[in-house]
Structure 1
Amino acid sequence: MVFGQVVIGPPGSGKTTYCNGMQQYLQLVGRKVAVINLDPANDSLPYDCAINIEDLIKLSDVMNEHSLGPNGGLVYCMDYLEKNIDWLESKLKPLLKDHYFLFDFPGQVELFFLHSNAKKVIMKLIKKLDLRLTAVHLVDAHLCSDPGKYVSALLLSLSTMLHMELPHVNVLSKIDLIESYGKLAFNLDFYTDVEDLSYLQHHLDQDPRSSKYRKLTKELCEVIEDFGLVNFTTLAIQDKESVTNLVKLIDKTNGYIFQGIDASAVEFSKIAIGQTDWDYYRYPFQ
């Protein structure tokens, strides 16, 4: 069984920086890490890349050949990767024995809550290679400084969770820079716990752009609260303690912390508390 992370999030949320910092951290704690770049537009990689999708297909070539824009080109690239999944499998198989995987995906958010190609790629890998993956969804912490953008980030996170159907960790990245974005309307815990969004309504009403959508915003907030799935952990990628806490959380969600436990003991513990495999690895301590 092989473990890893699927790193996703909007453009500018820090995915590539995250993969670089996470690779260095995990190597320092003794894990062999393979970073797989699946972003065909990312031609400047700061990390040591084990597999690069640009060896299969490049966004610039797709745009020129098919007269597509960057968004359409990325969808085409993900479709092409899905159709040629054997290429990626053959690259991954030599690394299965002793590596921990970091999959660096493109920042086009439609790939993770609207289109199914990226999800199909991940699910095929999980099924064929017996991977245990956690989706790490990065959201730039500066969105907390704008109530409207924060609600949008919550909707995106919820939609992505429901669409991807993976153990999922939402992360407010660049938290060390949050003070430079301006004063927050509430304490940071309000934005990480996502417990009562009605408090945002007053601040949304102060913005003339948002006030005319008051009823819609109220309904959207109720949808988020009714699902009760979204919360955030925080990350400053250069802070050791912050990264350590995040790694511990990810290791719980994908079951990495249980890899040394005898399989029969794990199976007995699941039966004893009536959990399915999905529940056990997503919520191992509930």
Structure 2
Amino acid sequence: MPRFAQLVMGPAGSGKSTYCSTMVQHSESLNRSVQVVNLDPAAEHFDYPVMADIRELIQVDDVMEDPSLRFGPNGGLVFCMEYFANNFDWLEESLGHVEDDYILFDCPGQIELYTHLPVMRQLVEQLQQWEFRVCGVFLVDSQFMVESFKFISGVMAALSAMVSLEIPQVNIMTKMDLLSPKAKKEIEKYLDPDMYSMMDDNSDNIRSTKFKKLTKAICELIDDYSMVRFLPFDRSDEEGVNIVLQHIDFSIQYGEDLEFKEPKVKMHKHLLKHSKMSCLVIAMHLAV
């Protein structure tokens, strides 16, 4: 039997632990068993039980206090993750092997782990060897994404993780519940963006010809290949949380042997469009 996993990724402060907590509570309401593994050696606290905690193996504070290493916070975290990659047997023992496992891996927020370091890719490959079907869940703070240039930066961060890990990925805008009604209305255009119009809106703010060409190339790449789209995540909206979970379940084929039931929830227009696009992207991944 396959096992299932979400790699919950995103910048520091994007709401990864809150997302895990919400998903655990939501799954309990559906009588589904979901476990969480903390992979952040610098984590301070979380309000849900974990089946494994990397801090039992190594902690950033211990590394930083070691006089022979003299690492700062970022260097210490990288050291911890590389140590973790050399000790996957600890994770295997902690996970055990129970049929139909569904595990959320709460990952660190340092972007270099998903760009030029091999640690997360090694983790994905190891999980796949353990018969896990893995989906990347990349979170960005919706409060950060309300300006075009910041949005493009967030898109590139999500894209870097997607390219590095080569697994199905669902991108999510978190903390929608913290936005004002006006901001919620404005951010809808970023959920399924028209990159060409976004580029035109900001062309006057770019003085350098080189940067204007670079921005145009990035926008065209994202738009032409429909590579990155976002789902909204409001932890207080059960319907919205369920839609996000349905997208992720589909990407890893969770419950494919169960009897199909028509969803009772009605998708908003942008979510329905995203659903169709997700099917296309996931089909491309499965075909590779």
Q: What is the TM-score with the length of structure 2 in the denominator?
A: 0.83
Q: Partners in 2 of 1:50 and 1:187 — Cα distance?
A: 36
* CA RMSD between the two structures: 2.3
Matched letter for residue 176 of structure 1: D
Total equivalences in the alignment:
261
Instruction: Name the CA distance, whole Å, in 1 between partners of 2:286 and 2:239.
Output: 23
Query: Which residue number in structure 2 is paired with residue 67 of structure 1?
Result: 70
In the TM superposition, structure 1's runs of 4+ consecutive aligned residues that sit over 6 Å from their partners are none
Q: 2:263 maps to what in 1?
A: none
SS of residue matched to 1:49:
coil
**Alignment-derived partner of residue 220 in structure 1:** 218
Contact kept in structure 1, 2:9 and 2:108, CA below 8 Å? yes
Question: Offset at 1:281?
Answer: 9.2
Contact 2:199-2:219 at 8 Å conserved across structures: no
Listed as ranges, the matches of 1:25-174 within 5 Å are 25-65=26-66, 66-94=69-97, 96-127=98-129, 129-174=130-175
In the alignment, is the contact (CA less than 8 A) between 1:204 and 1:211 conserved in 2? no
2:267 is matched with none
- SS across alignment from 1:21: helix
Deviations 1:157-189 (A, max 9, x none): 1111111111110011112223378587x561x
CA distance in 1 between counterparts of 2:176 and 2:257 reads 31
Instruction: Give, in angstroms, the shift of residue 203 of structure 1.
Output: 3.6
Cα distance in structure 2, aligned partners of 1:6 and 1:182: 28
Q: Please list every run of 5 or more consecutive structure 2 residues that lacks an aligned counterpart in the other structure.
A: 260-280
> Where does structure 1 lack aligned partners over 5 or more consecutive residues?
262-277
Matched, 1:192 2:194: no
Match of 1:264 in 2: none
- Give the direction of change, closer, same or farther, for the CA distance of 1:110–1:235 in structure 2 (3 Å limit): same
3-state SS of 1:139 partner: strand
Shift of 1:7: 0.3
Output the TM-score relative to the length of structure 1: 0.84
- Paired AA for residue 174 in structure 1: K
How far, CA to CA, are the matches of 2:155 and 2:242 in structure 1?
A: 24
Rounded Cα–Cα distance in structure 2 between residues aligned with 1:182 and 1:205: 23
- Among all aligned residue pairs of Structure 1 and Structure 2, give the percentage whose two residues are the same amino acid: 36
Q: Say which of 220, 243, 251 aligns to 1:245.
A: 243
Deviations 1:43-76 (A, max 9, x none): 2121111100000000111122221122111111
Letter in 1 for 2:125: M
Equivalent residues in 2 for 1:3-22, closer than 5 Å: 3-22=4-23
Q: Tell me the distance in 1 between the aligned counterparts of 2:152 and 2:282.
A: 28
Q: Name the CA distance, whole Å, in 2 between partners of 1:181 and 1:40.
A: 38
Displacement of 1:217 in angstroms is 1.5
Distance across 2 between alignment mates of 1:90 and 1:143: 39
- 1:144, 1:118 → 2: CA distance? 25
CA 1:4/1:206 → structure 2, altered by over 3 Å: closer, same or farther? same
**1:90 shift after superposition:** 0.8
SS of the aligned residue for 1:125 comes to: helix
1:26: how far off? 0.8
Query: Residue type matched to 1:246 in 2?
Result: V
**Structure 2 CA distance for partners of 1:219 and 1:118, relative to 1, 3 Å:** same
Structure 2 contact 4–100 (Cα < 8 Å) conserved:
no
Higher helix share: 1
Q: Is the 8 A contact 2:127 2:134 kept in 1?
A: no
1:113 is displaced (CA, Å) by 2.3
Is the Cα contact below 8 Å between 2:114 and 2:120 reproduced in 1?
Answer: yes
- For the residue of structure 2 that corresponds to 1:257, the secondary structure is coil
How far, CA to CA, are the matches of 2:232 and 2:54 in structure 1? 29
Distance 1:172 1:120, change over 3 A: same
